[in-house]
Amino acid sequence: MELELKSVVLPGVSPERPIVIAGPCSAETEEQVMNTARSLAAKDIKIFRAGVWKPRTKPGGFEGVGATGLKWLKRVKEETGMYVTTEVATREHVFEALKAGIDMLWIGARTTVNPFAVQEIADALQGVDIPVLIKNPVNPDLELWIGAIERIYGAGIRRIAAIHRGFSSYDKKIYRNLPLWHIPIELRRRIPQLPIFCDPSHIGGKRELIAPLSQQAMDLSLDGLIIESHCNPDEAFSDAGQQITPDVLDYVLNLLVIRNETQTTENLSELRRQIDHIDEQLLELLAKRMRISREIGVYKKEHNMPILQSPRYNEILVNRSHLGESLDLSSDFVKEILKEIHEESVRQQMIIMSK
């Protein structure tokens, strides 16, 4: 589906990268919302976020203050001039948010996974013109993410952006949600005109990861950042460990290095020419390797030998990964490539056997 999108940048907000959205994970009290909002406005933040309906993993946690919080967001708009955004997960949320004059909506990761829920939101948005930001689904499924974008587009919404907030994994180590950058990169290839935000707060799950993740997002030319900021992060009712004060947020944003992607220096062009040439050589070598594999296939067929010879495959994996390491290549990377090459060789030989 070819999407004809319009800019999500609201009047008065600079389109310069990064477009920043900041505010607490949740609206907790009117005082917390107003204190945080005033400090963020003083740091020149133009778009304020706060969740009022909170999807929580287990019952019994803080599930948000509900529609009451929308009144506080309205007050933020009136008193600070910031735009406000909140998460919607149901038809009722959409109606309430629109009624309260919320400027921008976002769809959370736990909602994007569910086409019924996304369709319900899309139906509620029919005929409305409001920017909608769509977080990636919790699982690393690009098609599901694009499907959600298409459903919202199908409702007539044209101001759409995506938010990369990382992907769940069973084994949580450094990140709360794995960044898997190749997925937003592939999304950019598939829908080049779609702005992509990064949510380093939910990827990292820890304050100290916000700065490096934001920098990575900028280095990958993402358009904006949505960062959780709270006037008193340690006391936050939700996601306390990943929220930063408006002062720290300002510090993190000022440290970001924004590289200008359109400046291609002569040196870079030369290096790219070298890469193009190496890629050609790699492909020619691969073609040659496949030709030899097919010859081996013919030999195996004539001598009634099976295609798979496990000792030989293991020997290749072990020897080559040692060789790769001595050449400064990671052994996982070498194994992954060899596995793919081996699978293709097996496929080629199977074709020969079946002739």
- The smaller minimum CB distance to Mn ion, of residues 122 and 138, is found at 138
What is the separation of C-alpha 248 from the centre of its chain, rounded to a whole number of angstroms?
23
Query: According to the binding rule CB under 5 A, does residue 152 interact with Mn ion?
Result: no
- The smaller minimum CB distance to ligand PEP, of residues 27 and 157, is found at 27
Q: Which stretch binds ligand PEP (CB under 6 A): 60-68, 102-110, 178-186, 286-294?
A: 102-110
- In order, the DSSP letters of 292-322 are HHHHHHHHHHHTT--S--HHHHHHHHHHHHH
CA neighbours closer than 13 Å in the CB half-sphere of residue 7: 11
Instruction: List the one residue out of 184, 175, 88, 96 whose CA is nearest residue 140.
Output: 184
- The smaller minimum CB distance to ligand PEP, of residues 52 and 218, is found at 52
Give the x-and-dash track for 163-182 against ligand PEP (CB under 6 A).
--x-----------------
From the number of C-beta atoms within 10 Å of its C-beta (0-12, 13-18, 19+), residue 103 rates as: middle
Q: In whole angstroms, what is the distance from residue 154 CA to residue 152 CA?
A: 5
**Using the rule CB under 6 A, which residue among 17, 46, 135, 176 binds ligand PEP?**
135
> What are the phi and psi torsion angles at 86 (to 5°)?
-145, 165
In angstroms, the Cα distances linking 249 to 13, 15, 227, 229, 259 are: 18, 19, 8, 7, 20
In whole angstroms, the minimum distance from the beta carbon of 355 to ligand PEP comes to 52
Query: According to the binding rule CB under 5 A, does residue 199 interact with Mn ion?
Result: no
- The smaller minimum CB distance to Mn ion, of residues 87 and 124, is found at 87
- What stretches of 24-172 adopt beta strand conformation (E)? 47-49, 83-87, 104-107, 132-135, 160-164
Give the x-and-dash track for 22-61 against ligand PEP (CB under 6 A).
---x-------------------------x---x------
Helices first, then strands: H and E counts in the chain: 13, 8
From the list ligand PEP, Mn ion, none, partner contacted by residue 207 (C-beta under 5 to 8 A by kind): none
Q: Which stretch binds ligand PEP (CB under 6 A): 104-112, 148-156, 212-220, 332-340?
A: 104-112
Query: According to the binding rule CB under 6 A, does residue 17 interact with ligand PEP?
Result: no
Q: In whole angstroms, what is the distance from residue 146 CA to residue 191 CA?
A: 9
From the list ligand PEP, Mn ion, none, partner contacted by residue 165 (C-beta under 5 to 8 A by kind): ligand PEP
The count of chain residues that interact with Mn ion, using the rule CB under 5 A, is 2
In whole angstroms, the minimum distance from the beta carbon of 91 to Mn ion comes to 23
**Using the rule CB under 6 A, which residue among 202, 227, 249, 252 binds ligand PEP?**
202
Structure tokens at 240: 């306390």
What is the separation of C-alpha 154 from the centre of its chain, rounded to a whole number of angstroms?
22
Q: Which residues of 302-331 are buried (b: 16+ CB within 10 A; e: fewer)?
A: eeeeebeeeeeeeeebeebbeebeeeeeee
- The smaller minimum CB distance to ligand PEP, of residues 107 and 334, is found at 107
Q: Which stretch binds Mn ion (CB under 5 A): 24-32, 116-124, 128-136, 267-275?
A: 24-32
Give the x-and-dash track for 224-243 against Mn ion (CB under 5 A).
---------------x----
Contact 54, 39 (CB under 8 A): no
Positions in the binding site for Mn ion (CB under 5 A): 25, 239
Positions in the binding site for ligand PEP (CB under 6 A): 25, 51, 55, 108-110, 135, 165, 199, 202
